[in-house]
Amino acid sequence: MKKSILILLISLFPVVVIAAGPDQERPHWSLEVKGGLFEPDIPNWKESYGKSTTSELAGAFAYKITRRVELGIEGGYAWASGQGLAPLHSQIAGSPVFAGHVDYKLYPLSAFILARGVFNEKQVVVPYIGGGWTRMYYEEKTDFQGTIKGHADGYHGRAGLQFLLDGIDESATNSFYEDYGVFHTYFFMEAEYSRVMAETVNDGNVNLGGTSWLAGLLFEF
Amino acid sequence: MCTKHDILLSFSVLILLFVSLPGVTLAGTLTVSNSCGAAPNCFSSISAAISAASNTTSPSIVIEPGTYTESVTLTVDNLPISGTETARTILQSASGPAITANNLGSVNISKLTIVSTSVGIQITGVSSATISNNIFFGSGQGTAILFQGTSSSGTVSNNTFLLNQTAISSPPTGINIQSNIFSRNSTALSAALTTNISYNDFDKNTNNGYQFLPSGETNLPNTVVSATNPIFVNPNSPPPSMDLHLQQGSPCIGTGFSGTDIGAYGGTGADTIPFIISGVTLTEPSSGSVSVSWSPNIAYNIGGYNVYYSLNRSGAPYDTKATLASSVTNTVITGLTTSTTPPSAPVLNNLGIGNGTLFVSWSAVPAATLYNLHYTDTSIVSSATITIPVVNTTSYTLGGLINGHNYLVTVSAVAQDTYFFSVTAFTTGGGTPGVSDESNYSTEQSISLGSSAESPPSNSQTDFPEALVPNPNLVNNDCFIATAAYGHYSASQVQALREFRDRYLLTNAPGRAFIRWYYRYGPVGAEFITAHPWLKPAVRMALMPAVGGALFMTRASAPVKAVTLVSAGLLILSLLARKKLLHAGGRR
């Protein structure tokens, strides 16, 4: 069965490549550079890290199977510094006592499929939606307690709006195309939700994902 | 009569005038410094100052002591660039010429130490070039000054060229080369000029150094003076330790143009600030006295030394100065008073909690030279109080504590009178260090005198350390001990153990309980193994059965596992039966 699926996929690959049409006058690749806020789904996050959101940076690279559909990979980095819970002190105080220093880092790595609602190459506002598989690498360093590392798998979905910037400076746009082959440059804003369940020591599973609010630049070439 | 059109026209003209005016015009002198702060007209690089000079009336650039790594291109005509202290104003280029001047009317560069293995100054098509009182150091490579095209006039005077491949390349006939020291370059002058070369010292240049002599009878060597070694103070260290001042007996003293010295420290525009003193050491030979010694400045014109010191206050200006002769390189300062007033007690803040640690911090106490941190484990009866001296900080992390044990912590301040010393050299009496004829202050040294006095203890704080729980309290995918023993998280043995954990331990309650226990204590073992690498082979041997078992359980097919387990069971049963038989008196 697996072999049959593999053979089917391999036989379909040339069709995909032909459909992509390298000679067609349209972009075939996209590159996203983005940053923004990440709001983790982890319970009591704000108590441990001081605020409900943290920073996130990410980049994505995708191949456009058609003008509207692309497959790609995305890598990101989110980080926060906070404190750990002191259980015995909390028990004595009757309320949570936080102490020490904890550095928490996430490195999400995703494979995605994305659909962009492009119906005209000069379309100023383009909606898009996508999603895919996510592997979340985590690193949690507590002072004097070493570093915990690991990873967990899950999925994500994202949607946003991209705004064509080409019209702002057409000569720059033309130079960008002639020098680097960039067809279009967009500014975009998106929301992303990820769900990646990871095991904790005592509290069952926890979702390492959450909601990201990101903005950035998209280059299509 | 003013019409609306007239008003509009006047307004437009005013706007046009405003927008057509050049940028903000700065004052004449632009300073380059590594520590500008908010100082006006001060720039962190020479290139930035040159850019600003284009908007400055009658600009000049003065460079404060420091090392500047950049390739400078002169784009402003008639812009003098000068260092404040030749030896300590260092311009070096990572690649290419340190200074490039193309097609300008006038160039004036002075009092810099230019370090380059490529080209020091490259001059192309400049009408008048004045290069004076600079040091060019090439570590045996590169060209100090490279002339290209035509430069109609100018002077290269009172420079010292040390260890360059070529000191001056292609000097045009209109350039006056005067009172320079060419020492240990491969080539002093790449063109054999016969005129405009006078009062120079050519010492140990290996190739074509002075083949055009004796037309310049004023040059060294000549028919009267055969010695050419300039006898530098310290030519064997690279900048900034290199000191190319002249020692007593140098043939370059007073033999330059108009009876001035030859080299970078001669001539009317020379840097007269002596080289900074080094090697200051302090000892306490007896109560109330300090012996100060330093490495001598052996430049021929040093007139003496000033020893500066203050009580309990670091840095200039100092309270007291003692002036000493140039022959003296150590002195004993006596009559230094000390007081033993105990400082006030610090205020101890709440303790910070950590895993086996307590973070202690307290308020600073004026005049405290150190703090004594005292702590006692009150969970153990008759536990001794431990004291830790803490210097130069008001916080400390107590480590190696037992989680759950209560610790009582106090801190006290200790004061001891401290004297701060610095030494300068001067030529003719001194005045202000770093100005005119007195060197900058040496690196400050301090010494504590008399008996110390300790404050009463601070308020006490009690707390206990404990392991913290991060949020989220994630499971470590690492197999701590195996990772420590095999050296890497992705070692195949570690992966086998990890896979075993995921498939056979995480799937049942006893397995999860074991993992929880292991995650609690495994890191401690791993830390111990990492700290004692010699344990790794033994741990690997000990882990071998576990790794083998994990490999078998995760890689072998189900029938193989079943057959093996059944065989092992039968083997154990037969061994037990045999043992029972032997106990019963049977034969082997």
Q: Which stretches of chain A score pLDDT less than 70?
A: 1-24
Residue B434 has pLDDT above 60, yes or no: yes
Residue B587 has what pLDDT?
54
Interchain contact B328–A (C-beta under 8 A): no
Alpha carbons B312 and B579: distance in angstroms, whole number: 85
Q: Is the pLDDT of residue B3 over 60?
A: no
Neighboring chain B residues of A89 at a CB cutoff of 8 Å: 353, 466
- For residue A196, give the DSSP letter: E
Nearest-neighbour CA in chain B from A45: distance (Å): 7
Q: Give the confidence band of B491 by pLDDT, cuts at 50, 70, 90.
A: low
What confidence score (pLDDT) does residue A16 get? 41
User: How many Å apart are CA B178 and CA B219, to the nearest integer?
Assistant: 9
State the pTM of this model: 0.59
The pair of structure tokens assigned to B531 is 């700290």
Quick one: pLDDT at residue B481? 66
3-state secondary structure of B32: strand
Instruction: Tell me the domain boundaries of chain B.
Output: 27-259, 281-338+420-450, 352-417+451-463, 480-555
Report the Cα B185 to chain-centroid distance in Å.
30
Residue the block writes with tokens 């005049």 = B367
Beta bridge partners of B29: B60
Q: Are A150 and B474 in contact (CB under 8 A)?
A: yes
Q: How many folded domains does chain A comprise?
A: 1
Answer yes or no: is A131 within a domain: yes
Spatial contact of B41 and B30, defined as CB atoms under 8 Å apart = yes
Name the most confidently modeled range: A30-34, B166-170, B478-482, B489-493. A30-34
The mean per-residue pLDDT over the stretch B269-281 comes to 94
Q: For residue B279, name the pLDDT band (cuts at 50, 70, 90).
A: very high
Same-fold call for B281-338+420-450 versus B352-417+451-463:
yes
Instruction: Say if the Cβ atoms of A45 and B471 lie within 8 Å.
Output: yes
pLDDT category of residue B151 using cuts at 50, 70 and 90: low
pLDDT class of B15 with cuts at 50, 70, 90: very low
Torsion-angle region of residue A173: left (phi > 0), alpha (psi -120 to 50) or beta? alpha
CA–CA dist B399, B416 (Å, integer) = 28
Is A8 within a domain? no
Structure confidence at residue B25 (pLDDT)? 44
Give how far B35 is from chain A: nearest CA, Å: 33
What distance in Å separates the CA atoms of residue B469 and residue B401, rounded to the nearest whole number?
18
- B525-536: average pLDDT: 77
pLDDT digits (tens, 9 = 90+) for B221-237: 888 888 899 999 999 99
**Confidence at residue B338, expressed as pLDDT on a 0 to 100 scale:** 81
**Is pLDDT at B323 greater than 70 in this prediction?**
yes
Under the banding of pLDDT at 50, 70 and 90, the label for residue B156 is very high
Which residues of chain B lie closer than 8 angstroms to A146, CB-CB?
523, 526-527
A15-24, A71-80, B75-84, B190-199: least confidently modelled range: A15-24
Q: What pLDDT score was predicted for residue B225? A: 85
B97-118 pLDDT per residue, tens? 999 999 899 999 999 999 988 9
Predicted pLDDT of residue B216: 59
Q: What residue numbers bound the domain in which A45 lies?
A: 27-220
Of B473, B523, B527, nearest to A203 by CB-CB distance is: B473
Does the pLDDT value for residue B27 go beyond 90?
no
Placement of tokens 């996203």 in the chain: A32
Q: What is the CATH number of the domain that holds A126?
A: 2.40.160.20
Burial label for B125, CB within 10 Å (0-12, 13-18, 19+), is middle
State the best of B349, B469, B514, B518 to mutate against chain A, taking most chain A CBs within 10 Å. B469
Mutate to test the interface with B, among A91, A144, A151 (most CBs of B within 10 A): A144
**pLDDT of B208 over the 70 cut:** no
Other CB atoms within a 10 A radius of the CB of residue A88 amount to: 15
What integer is the mean pLDDT of B140-150?
A: 87
Residues of B with CB below 8 A from A99's CB?
Answer: 352-354, 468
**Range of A172-176, B20-24, B212-216, B491-495 with top mean pLDDT:** A172-176
B192 and chain A: CB distance < 8 Å anywhere? no
User: How far is A151 from chain B, CA to nearest CA, in Å?
Assistant: 7
Most trustworthy range by pLDDT among B80-94, B138-152, B558-572: B80-94
CATH superfamily of B352-417+451-463: Immunoglobulins (2.60.40.10)
For B503, the token pair is: 């498939």
What are the tens digits of pLDDT across the range B31-58?
Answer: 999 988 888 889 999 999 999 998 888 8
Q: What percent of chain B has pLDDT over 70?
A: 89
Whether A126 is covered by a domain: the verdict is yes
- Tell me, what's the pLDDT at A12? 39
Residue A19 maps to a domain: no
Most confident of A11-25, B342-356, B501-515, B523-537: B342-356
Q: Are B175 and B200 in contact (CB under 8 A)?
A: no
pLDDT per position as a tens digit, B438-487: 999 999 999 988 888 999 999 999 999 999 999 999 887 666 666 667 76
Asked if B476 lies within 8 A of A150 by C-beta distance, the reply is yes
Q: Does the beta carbon of B471 lie under 8 angstroms from any beta carbon of chain A?
A: yes
Cα B395-A45-B405 angle, rounded to 5 deg: 45
CATH number of B281-338+420-450: 2.60.40.10
Q: Distance (Å, rounded) from C-alpha B481 to C-alpha B517?
A: 13
User: Would you state the pLDDT for residue B533?
Assistant: 78
As a whole number, the mean pLDDT across chain B is 86
* A6: in domain: no
Cβ contacts below 8 Å, chain A against chain B, sum to 104
Predicted confidence (pLDDT) per residue in A180-206, tens digit: 889 999 999 999 999 999 988 877 889
- The mean pLDDT value for B93-100 works out to 90
- Statement: residue B210 has pLDDT above 80: no
* pLDDT score for A15: 41
Cα A19 to Cα A181, A221, B96, distances in angstroms: 20, 17, 52
In a domain, A10, yes or no: no
